[in-house]
Amino acid sequence: MKNKLPLAIALLVTTSTTFAEDTPWQERDRLSGNWGGARTALADSGIETFAYYTGIFASNVDGGNESDEAYAGGLFFGAKFDLEKKFGWEDTEFAIAGIDRHGRSIDAAVGGQYSVMQVVGGQTTFLYNVTLEKQFMDDQLSLKFGRMSATDDFCGSPFFSYSMNNAVNGQIRAALFDGVMTSYPFAVWGARAKYQINETTYAQIGTFQLSESMWDPKNHGTDFAIRGSDGLSVFTQLNWNPTLNDRPAHFFVGMNNAFFDMDRFDSNQDREEFVRFYANADYQVYSESPDSDNGLTLFATLGYTSHDDVAIVPVQSTFGANYRGLFPGRENDSTLFFATYGGFSDVYSKVESEAGRSEADYEMVIELAHRFQLSPASYFQPDLQYIVKPGGTGDTDNALVLGFQFGGSF
């Protein structure tokens, strides 16, 4: 596939001036503006359109298996329909979205378990979100059903999305290695119920289809079949979002139960039941002024399962720091640090050793970045990653990856 980096940059620049707008592009919530008033007219009629582009360039400059560089990008686009405005269906929304992913990764050159480019995976065009969501009891209860994935609602935090490495971008990555957490951009049949217990606490439960073909990009998200061999992935999660010492905090704990045939590392028999626990905590430890978003937020995650006969990374933990507005005059920028530890399965490591290969112990990913918020709708983020023990064995030299990611909302 041809390198689409120049095209992506041109798209970001030209869409900021495509339509005659009174608002400068640096102040717009969407780079393409209000389309001469058409976007507002659509919203008034119950239709909200959206498009987000993310691009990544990365180069393995030292260590790993070999030197390499590559570009990858992803476009997420779609529309939401307020069915109360359209048909009088109170508190009901229909959403439909598509995804185009292109480019390639340098992961093979790095040799690690975690991808250093989070927009790589299923490099093609997908039909993604096709859901109907209904609110009940003055928005206290929300039900959603359709084509979706667990990562839309579970096991994630907005602070994760700043990472260029997928160790934590979107969700705690170890949960995806098990193959029982459905993930963007691979949609399946699913349903989610969310109940607001009080102002700071809500609980949610979701059930999602598991199938042998759900990761196949050749289906383009259009395999709607439900087969007798399919399994079920169930998520339960409790979220608590208090204010502590006048600063925001967010906590969640959850559990994923899966009922699906999973290959054991050390046996020809399958495991038919699986459970993983996970948790996250973040807190703004320093605020530059009362009620300000600017300041330092720290977060930590944990993912754990005792079923290391099928889970290649049964234990993962990430520590992160996000300082918004660190530098004078750049109040909307974010300075970022991530450190992820992934411990490999003892059973997997033993099987590898018995097969004459090196035992796998752990892999660490250290990431440092700064996100320049060019406008409310666009950013540019230089990024440095250092991967310790890629693949967990120590046979591959620690890798240094330099690159950048950028994004825009249209």
How does pLDDT run across 269-320, given as a tens digit for each residue?
889 999 999 999 999 999 999 989 999 999 999 999 999 999 999 999 999 9
DSSP string, 5-43: HHHHHHHHHHTTSSS--SS-GGG-SSTTTTGGGHHHHHH
| Alpha-carbon torsion angle 404, 116, 208, 264, nearest 10 | 180
Query: How confident is the model at residue 44, as a pLDDT?
Result: 93
Sign of CA dihedral 133, 254, 387, 320: positive
CB neighbours of residue 383 within 10 Å:
23
| Amino acid 1: pLDDT | 43
- Confirm whether pTM is higher than 0.75: yes
- Annotate 61-97 with b (16+ C-beta within 10 A) or e (fewer): eebbbeebebbbbbbbbbebbbbeeeeeeeebbbbbb
pLDDT above 90 covers what percent of the chain?
Answer: 88
What pLDDT sits at residue 21? 61
Q: How many helices (H) and strands (E) does the chain have?
A: 6, 17
Write down the pLDDT at residue 278.
Answer: 97
Amino acid at 45: S
Is it true that the peptide bond before 217 is cis, omega within 30 degrees of 0? no
Which residue numbers in the chain have pLDDT < 50? 1-2, 16-17
pLDDT at 178: 86
> What pLDDT is recorded for position 2?
47
Would you give the end-to-end CA distance of the chain in angstroms? Answer: 24
Phi, psi of 13, rounded to the nearest 5 degrees: -75, -50
User: What pLDDT score was predicted for residue 162?
Assistant: 97
| pLDDT, averaged across the chain | 93
Token representation of residue 367: 């990431």
